[in-house]
Amino acid sequence: MKPQAVIFDMDGTLFDSERLGHQIWRQLGVEFQLPVSDAFLRDLSGRDWNSAKEVFDHYFPAGWPLSAVKERQRELFAQFYAMSGAEVKPGFYAILDHLKERQIPMAIATSSFPQCVKANLRHAHAEHYFQSIITGYDPDVKAGKPAPDIYLCAARRLQADITRCIVVEDSPSGVRAAAAANAMPLLIPDTAPVDDATRRKARWILERLDQMIPLLESEETDHAV
């Protein structure tokens, strides 16, 4: 099977940055006296600030200082990424090299800040793999995951048919976004628990990135576990 393109989420999918995000949110919880729980972090996974409103409304008290928390989060991320980038996930270079050799276009579609994406790719020396990078802050992305906008935007910029794009995700909200876009969702679970509804929406479920290689070389379309 040769897809027209492969679109990757970033945090928890390409880079081991989901845990960094959790650490920063726990620090924000302490600094601003907010109830940052495991359940909050689970439900927040994969969302940007706009699509996270329902999560904030559910867990945080009315009148919490959104603007101040948002600015402080940006500062904490900037401090980390000024020094380094997140480590790559297992199989990172193997799958990207394989896709490049097969001339399959690649994009990143992430809810993260643009500077975080640039820092991670620079740290990994991986800027040359991707034809397009779309973040939740792109003006063409009107709604964040689990809405399909970011993946539809990525497919347009790659000039690919979204129904022939594999979307690689680690979070339930990301899989829902890919399914809503009518892409082919491929799930590689990371920190977020995966429920049965998410498993049903995923076309394939793998354990690491390089397990995609035999999948791409095969004509089989069964779910891989």
pLDDT of residue 222: 45
> Does 121 or 21 have the greater pLDDT score?
121
- Encoding tokens for residue 125? 């020396």
pLDDT tier, 1 (very low <50, low <70, confident <90, very high otherwise): low
Range of lowest pLDDT (5-9, 16-20, 70-74, 206-210): 16-20
Q: At what angle do helices 18-32 and 66-83 cross, to 10 degrees?
A: 140
**Are residues 10 and 108 in contact, defined by beta-carbon separation less than 8 angstroms?**
yes
pLDDT of residue 192: 75
pLDDT of residue 168: 98
Examine the pLDDT at 223 and tell me if it is beyond 80.
no
Rounded CA-CA distance 43/38 in Å is 9
Put the strands of the sheet holding 5-8 in their side by side order: 132-135, 106-110, 5-8, 165-169, 184-187, 204-205
Q: How far is CA 4 from the centre of its chain?
A: 20
Q: pLDDT digit string (tens) for 145-193?
A: 999 999 999 999 999 999 999 999 999 999 999 999 999 999 999 877 7
Q: pLDDT digit string (tens) for 44-54?
A: 887 878 888 99
Mean predicted confidence (pLDDT) in 1-20: 92
Mean predicted confidence (pLDDT) in 136-146: 91
Q: What is the 3-state secondary structure (H, E, C) of the chain?
A: CCCCEEEECCECCCECCHHHHHHHHHHHHHHHCCCCCHHHHHHHCCCCCCCCHHHHHHHCCCCCCHHHHHHHHHHHHHHHHHHCCCCECCCHHHHHHHHHHCCCCEEEEECCCHHHHHHHHHHHCCHHHCCEEEECCCCCCCCCCCCCHHHHHHHHHCCCCHHHEEEEECCHHHHHHHHHCCCEEEECCCCCCCCHHHHHHCCEECCCHHHHHHHHHCCCCCCCC
Rounded CA-CA distance 225/223 in Å is 6
Examine the pLDDT at 199 and tell me if it is beyond 60.
yes
Q: Which residue has the tokens 């973040």?
A: 135
pLDDT of residue 221: 41
Q: Which residue has the tokens 């000039």?
A: 159
